[in-house]
Amino acid sequence: MQQRPLGPFTVSAIGLGCMNLSHAYGQPPSPEAGRELLARALDLGCTLFDTAALYGFGANEELVGPVLKPHRSKITLCSKGGMAGVQFPDGVKRVIDGRPEAIRRNCEDSLRRLGTDVIDLYYLHRWDKQVPIEESVGEMSRLVAEGKVRTLGLSEVSAATLRRAHAVHPITALQTEYSLWTRNPEIAVLDACRELGVAFVAFSPVARGFLGTLSDVSGFDAKDIRRSMPRFTPGHYAANRALLAPVQALADARGVTVAQLALAWLLHRGEHIIPIPGTTSVAHLEDNLAAADLALSADEMALLDGAINQRSVQGTRYNSTTQAEIDTEEFSA
């Protein structure tokens, strides 16, 4: 497995986003299947594992922790706080809360569920716009001073917010969606990360299945978050699927999958970029990690750039409610 720097750590060039094993895309796999996939990732040389307090409202950390514990000194463990499940009279609901006391509570809960004394990279999952970023990162820096966290990260923030946070405490990584069909980081964040020496961690690098094997959006589970994403509505999705023809042709010519091309494209975009695809399939995991060794020519990069981009894709990334919660730059209409 190729390696890349992530702050003080050296990690596999492609990591594993663990969310799918407990959260977001409908009925998750059984815990046994989840443990099998995590074990296979370890066997294949994956050393970067990404989870969060939100995923399954703690269930993902409880799944991941015991599997990774025997390998703790050989892997980089990442989790996130500032957005978690909170118990209400009518059930557990997602709440964004960047107050210092909430971040501390989230972190201590994560440490307990993960069965570890320290989290290598701890992200602010979402910037709570009711709380100055300096206050949230200030509390996170105290977690570093206390030895509960080694390094800090941010998720779904703009270059301006990154700079404000970095002035309080060095930020090791910024995590945002980035793929052929989501190019928002190219507006400002990628350059800011490069300038500040911050690693860029790309989540949903195969576009939530669009650049994988997802062909039909009519059968989504009732709890699948893609049901509320405009790009996955039937009309938009049919138009977006049509964009894949030249990409599929290149994949066929190279004897690889579209997902492998998409991951290799990201790796070629910059040495500071680390994709973290998630999957519930061992076969897809093996394909994804193999993409670290796929070399692309300048002509192939240009073909991929031109086929699927912010000008050709139909539908916004999030609906208006979710969009209001994030801080990433957006292309003008």
Please choose, from the candidates 156, 186, 201, the residue with its C-alpha nearest in 3D space to the C-alpha of residue 14: 201
pTM over 0.95: yes
Contacts of 104 (CB under 8 A, 6+ apart): 139, 143
Give the start-to-end residue ranges of the domains of the chain: 3-207+267-293
Backbone angles phi, psi at 311, to 5 degrees: -85, -30
Q: Which residues are catalytic?
A: 55
Q: What is the pLDDT of residue 74?
A: 97
Cα-to-chain-centroid distance, residue 233: 22
How many CA atoms within 13 Å lie on the side-chain side of 21? 29
Its CATH class, for the domain covering 3-207+267-293, is alpha beta
CA-wise closest residue to 19 among 180, 152, 177: 177
Does residue 96 contact residue 83 with C-beta atoms inside 8 Å? Answer: yes
Measuring CA to CA, how many Å separate 71 from each of 7, 47, 229? Answer: 20, 9, 37
DSSP secondary structure, 84-102, as one string = EEEEETTEEEEEE--SHHH
- Report the candidate in 99, 162, 81 with the shortest Cα–Cα distance to residue 328: 162
Residues of the chain below pLDDT 70: 333
The one-letter amino acid code at 258 reads: V
- DSSP string covering 191-233: HHHHHHT-EEEEESTTGGGTTTT----TT--TTBGGGG-GGGS
> What is the model's pLDDT at position 332?
84
